[in-house]
Structure 1
Amino acid sequence: MIAIDSLPKDLAGAAATAWRHVLDHHDAAALADLTGALEAHPAIAGALARVLACSPFVAGLIRRQPRLLAALLEDGLLQRSLQPGELQAELQQRLAEPGAELHPVLRRFRARHMLRIVWRDFCRDADTLETMQDTSALAEACITLAQAHLQQQLEARFGVPRGRRSGEAQQLIVIAMGKLGARELNVSSDIDLIFAYPESGETDGERRRISNTEFFTKLGQGLITALDQVTADGFVFRVDMRLRPYGESGSLALNFAALEEYYQDQGRDWERYALIKARPVSGSAAHGAELMAMLRPFVFRRYVDFGVIESLRSMKQMINSEVRRRGLQEDVKLGSGGIREVEFIAQCFQLIRGGRDLGLQQRELLRVLDECVELGCLPAAAVAELRAAYLFLRDSEHAIQGYQDQQTQALPADPQQRLALATVMGFADWDSYLVELAGHRERVTAHFRDLIAAPEDEHDDAEDELPPWGDDLDAEALAEVGYREPAASLERLQALQRSTRVATLQAEGQERLQQFMPRLLLACAEADNPDRALLRTLPFVTAVLRRSAYLALLLENPPALAELVLLCNASPWIAEQLERHPVLLDELLDRGSLYTAPDKALLATELRQQVARLQPGDLEAQMDALRYFKASQVLRVAASELVGRLPLMRVSDNLTWIAEVILEQVLAVAWTDISARFGQPQRDPDGYGFALFGYGKLGGIELSYASDLDLVFVYDADVQGVTDGERSIDNVKFYTRLGQRIIHILETRMAMGQLYDVDMRLRPSGASGLLVSSLKGFRSYQEDTAWTWEHQALVRARLVAGDPAVGAGVDAVRRDILCRARDEQALATEVVAMRERMRKELLPKKLPEGQEFDLKQSAGGIVDIEFMVQYAVLAWSHRVPELARWSDNIRILETLAGAGLVAQRESKALIEAYLAFRSVAHQLALQQLPGRVPGDEYREQRASVEAAWQRLFPAQDKPTEQQD
């Protein structure tokens, strides 16, 4: 009946002995059932011997209850995986049988399926994940059906518990914590539970009423007994309730309001850690989701929370002390490089970044590790090693526990159990297994140390060189480390020390500030201008005092502190962005990424991945994600420009690409939102039937850091058509609401500000016109009504997001308009008049004559070049249609030279002047200075522009700057 030849000698003997004990069973009929089943399945002879030898627990079950194995063979359950819900359906059927009693049914059910689970695991018919999921499903089925059975009994005595506020019937919500919450239960695990119910109130019994608290306490006590109590049939699962609020001294069941109040007022970091895997496994699904949403802000902070590392470090130190005290160094869970360290690595990132990166708000450890790769938290190679180690360690844990159904993770001392463990794990002997185990543990420890270990500089010689902070701080100490204006810097620091924000800090914040400030002072001292670096960085410190997790981030990452000081010292604009949005500190952790501005394709992919991790339909979360994306990507561009890695043309390209991918995503979000309410508009081709056209700097691919977006919305659909939703509206109204929603998403002020200011004044009829135009209406306006200055604006128009078919239609209109033959003299008069009007309105009236040059509006500046280009396109495109192809000034100037309409030297001079002016304008913006330079600068470039103006408009007066 059994095949022992493939087993090591000692295990073969154990298998033979176990089989003899089975054959000695007193129930001949049961034994006949078993032998008959085995004869019908001869292929399992080797598996039977392996399981009997490697699991005395399973051998004992078969010896006592031969029909268990016979039934599993007859049902085919040893040979296949279970379907979702199959366990629950089977248990429900058994409990419904006449005369069924809860406790015996649960225990026999558990014995049947633990035999199956251990068998399939030890024979490697099930992989690690299946074993964990089946064990978790077994626990979940037992909890759910035992609860339903017990609640029915209690309701017969006391009535249905009802909420005082809602009057609704109440159900107990059993929250599975830890491994059960993540469906990662091991084969002999206890289960950590918390009991909750939605509302206080009382039962509606006719004879006796009790409070909901009393009702659910009785239900919880009954459930624990049903699962945990050891009877003649054994037990189901050991139950641990110590993770509930107030631990063993707390109420067994709390209502949602009490739970929320506890975690808000008294919740500790270890409880955040514990709740990461929390999952409702019984009761109303809607109430379970409500409870999880209520607890989520406690677990996952909205900002990047590096403060949790110190807490995890402390927790790990406590565990290490306990390991040493109890001699658990050889424990595959708690020992060095064990399961707990892999869990700490994943859950550390969940607590640090889970509030912002929703993909980390998962319970399953391996999925979290995969998400860490997607987010760039961990290298793929590191995660591959952690995954392999975790699966090896969990398989080892199952082999250890399945031996005697004992809740232990300690490597065995008994030689025969060691051989059994090695055999289950696929090794010829114990020593071979230990070598593999040691390799996995070493790799886990190395990764764990990289993440959790204290920063290296906490113990180096620089510690003694840190400037003092507090009462010992003085100007002399600042001067000693390199400050050039120590008295002024000291005054600023003392103002911070005396501020109410510092005085009212809690103890944890005070402690972090005490640790942080000496390091900040030293980091600023290493800048080229220490006093300026400190001046620009202190507002950031003030802004994050009450969110000291940001200080923890910088303490944990000294290179990030160095980048913070470098960038703030280099640019007050960047310093202000970081002050307003400290969450951007996360970008400083990866220097390679910080100083690399991705191209448009990578930007689109990154944004798409970020939005894909959000809950569908959560408009607020999507708007938050868009704002973070923009702020982080613009920071990358600015940082790259400051260190000289991006020339001007690339800066504008990148800023424009950021806007374009955001607009495409905003359109998708707005479309989903509006069409969900009204259905989709009738239109012939696929696609939105809607396009966003960018004008001005956006259209000309010349965005700067603070540019607004000049947009025009055009649709192409039947104006008589309607949407196909239940709340149908006409097409015009649909596209109008779509445009309104786009503007709302772009302009609404949130925690991270606006996405962009939007200017719609260039649409047909300007501010008095319709928000969206039909393609037909757009053409009619441009052909019959538009002013010359509107045709000038059309030069810099191009499709930036939306339906390419609509874009092609608008572009055809644009080309037709630009390629019209015009009276060149009349056109020149209008262009020059418009330029004069603009100069009068926009050039500062008190600009000292000859002393300052306004880069945009002064004669010979940026706008003069733009007007000359626009004139050239309008005047000559009928002869050279290629001029109408481009929307950016550089390529138009190159085309003019190529067509012989402008001399090569003149085109080159205008391009050089244009790039020079825009480059210095970018640099001034980063320094938060107005776009003006001393009057004696750029004289050669200005002269070239003015000369070109005079050649192009010879009959016009030379433009003069408006003076006071």
Structure 2
Amino acid sequence: MSASERSSSLTHLARLGFTSLSDADALLTEVEASTGVPRNAMTSGAQLAADADEALSALARIARRDADAVRRLHADEQGWRALWALLGASTGFADFFHRNPAELSELAGAGVTLPSSVELRDTLLDAVSAEDGFAADGGEAAWVALRVRYRRMLARIAAFDLLSASPVDHVPSVAARLADAAAAALEASLAVARTRVSGGAAGAGLFPRDQVARAKLAIIGMGKAGARELNYVSDVDVIFVAGTDEGAAEELSESRVVDIATRLAVQTMRGISGIEIEPPLWEVDANLRPEGKQGALVRTLDSHLAYYERWAKSWEFQALLKARAIAGDLTLGEAYVAAVQPKVWTSAARESFVDSVQRMRERVTEHIPAAEVAHQIKLGPGGIRDIEFTVQLLQLVHGLSDDRIRQRGTLEALDALVAEGYIGRNEASAFARDYRVLRLLEHRVQLRNLRRTHLMPSRPEELRVLARATGLAETGDGVWELWESVKREVRDIHVRLFYRPLLSAVAALPAEERALSAEQAHDRLAAIGFADPAGALRHIAALTSGLRRKAAIQRHLMPVMIRWFAEGVDPDYGLLAFRRLSERLGDTPWFLRMLRDSSAAAESLTRVLSGSRYIGELMEWIPESAAWLDDDELLRPRTGIALQQEARAIQARHGSLEDAMRSVRALRRRELLRTAMAAVIGTITIEEVADALTTITDVTIQATLRAVRPTIVPPEDADLDFSVIGMGRFGGRELGFGSDADVMYVYRANSVDPQRAHELAVKLVAALRTHSEDHRVPLDLDADLRPEGRNGPIARSLDAYAEYYRRWSLSWEAQALLRARGVAGSVKLIGSFMELADQVRYPATVDQQGLREIKRIKARVESERLPQGADPARHLKLGPGSLSDVEWLVQLLQLEHAHEVEGMRTTSTLVALKAAQQAGVIAAVPAARLTDAWRLASRLRSANTLLSAQTSDILPVDRKRLDGIGRLLGYPPRSATQVEEDYLGTTRRARRVFEKLFYG
């Protein structure tokens, strides 16, 4: 061969996938010489080899031993393709064919189809029954024949796998055939064992032949073998069950049967795993039996059941989920499976079952050697076990009451879980895809040496071979990157689903609540707290009837959610509101996914709906708010800056005043709802509630003023300044749910005619009040705290305010200014008004006559402003020791001391009280009692509104309503009396402080 011809030949070899070109050239020359097959014809299948160099080296070794076998196979094109694929992917098969070159002929036609389960069984049984040395050598020859025949069939399965266009799609069918092959091997080995144990081998018989024939042994496949998901080389987990025919029971004692069956089991295992000329197939692992390695290898069916009834741990039932009779007496085996299934599917009801399964998965991960964690395909984070444990836990928990998800196989179970709504389609699709990828990687690394391993290779050349063998990537780096991305995705889904709190809630449901007749359901609903069980049943039926996925998911959620509703304040309203919310959201996928995947969100939803009509009514109009319950950050009140930016964007988008104000009202409702939900869930304090409600009101007034001003004030009068001043609790940033917004209106004419300016200001006030109205969540802009009250002008100029306060101001008006705060409009005008207010509310000298007048007015308010017939002790605003007592006392202290104590110059009641304490104006204990009373009264007032969606300042007498208010404040159920006693005691102590300091 010339130099150019040799160079061309080597280039051709490189294109076929060879890397050691000179060695390959030499080996091809050698094989061509020994077999007579031309080298070009010989390499026709080389491109199919994951490792062409290894395949050719193996081919040369086989040819040295039996060149004729190689030559004959080359005549079969499909068989030749299969040989290259097998030798290139597996040194294990290379060694097998080197030991048994005659087996090459069996590859003819291989790779087109998979052998059937019947063919596998018949072929392996034929191998042991046809072996001439069966009886002469104690069965060893039969076992060798079995192993050779098994590997022949394994080669056919592998050839189909390796030659398929998309091996990842064939993972389920390949794994099923591998399980069928294992079952057939056990059946064949058991046939040999029966001969050995019954005296078929000279001098080896231990039991009479007729007794062995009557003794039954069923082999139960567990784990992957039971689920028909087996690997190429994997331990085959089994359980052995002994029994006899009914007619033989009198002749054979139970102990005798167990002795025979134990000997059969031992010999069966030896036939598969013992040391012989042909290497073992795989390990037969019986350690999942009762008591594990310490327990009897073989038990009768009754003995098994007695153990599972009394002693079995949760993990043992999880292991039994995939149990299947695979060999031996199938009738006995199926009886075993049928008997244990009810125990499997009720195991999740055991105490702490979910926690035990979760902990077991964690222990598996913890015991992986540190050096292997990053390479573990099966056991590591993001590996096969994460998928299997997740699917099994979902099955076991929901399979308590749903037999449609009781599948053995992982992929079949995933399909069922999706169909029945227990897992989302996207998550299940990702899990199924990733499971196939992981299993394909596992198959290929095991094929490499036909050895049990679950580790990704680390060497670049091994990764390159793996990439070619799987077809998942073009390079070693590519297959590693794919593996890493799959791990991340699997781990993310596993953590979300496996630790889904709803699983524990479902598993903890009492058995009587998982499936009830209509009559039983009616009685049960009444018993757990529903006042209208018939109405509740109608709502449940409306939510769960039908065949759509939405109804299926609701059916799964209902038992748990009904219990949560029943634990709420008003279960009937909560369920009604949930039905309305569900109908508004329709088939919105995120809603049901959130409820199914986040029990915290689901439980929070039942809590807010059954605890607050205020929330329920708003959620019906803002159903997307349910998503906030799945993220505490979304429940946090938004900042004033964020709300201002959104409000300005709204006005920029909408051309008309009505459209803009409709969106502003929607913004206000949404933020009120967010704050209400956070308050009921308990993620914000009463001070944060007050601040959030004030901010929302500020933004609403600001946005309304920006919207109406252009329609009222023409360009030629643009020099008019106009501002809104917050007063009362609004000015103090202390609003509660249902509070009015006390305001005053001020303007400055500047260059505008004074009369014209006044007219425009009054029109602005009217427009503000008109366009801020909201029939769903009223916003009352109350201007009664203005000078002269209702008798005074609705708006005044800054100069008019200055003149009034200089000449005619009354003590209560100075007191009212203590809460004055600029809210909206001209910033300069607000600044000027605040300077004026400071002169009035923080006087350098105290007007004692004015203070006496304030005390007189307070006494008159207590006697005149209380609603007729109301119990003063229960009035949250005007009652003794309630809000007004604390606020009036603090305001009195401010009038007296704020000029000297800068910290008291604030519109906030509690901030001023704290500053007074720090300055020594009031002692710590009285300040604490006042603070406690103010906080409790504020919380009760807001809770009263949240509960009923109606504003009321009266602490209810009705025990159910009082209990509901208490629940919103965090009291346990049936705490109406405690709520009442706490309030009356707290206000009584605060009243004593008030009387001593205010009137004393």
Give the TM-score of the pair, scaled to structure 1.
Answer: 0.47
Give the TM-score of the pair, scaled to structure 2.
Answer: 0.46
Q: Over alpha carbons, which structure has the higher Rg?
A: 2
Higher normalized helix content (fraction of residues): 2
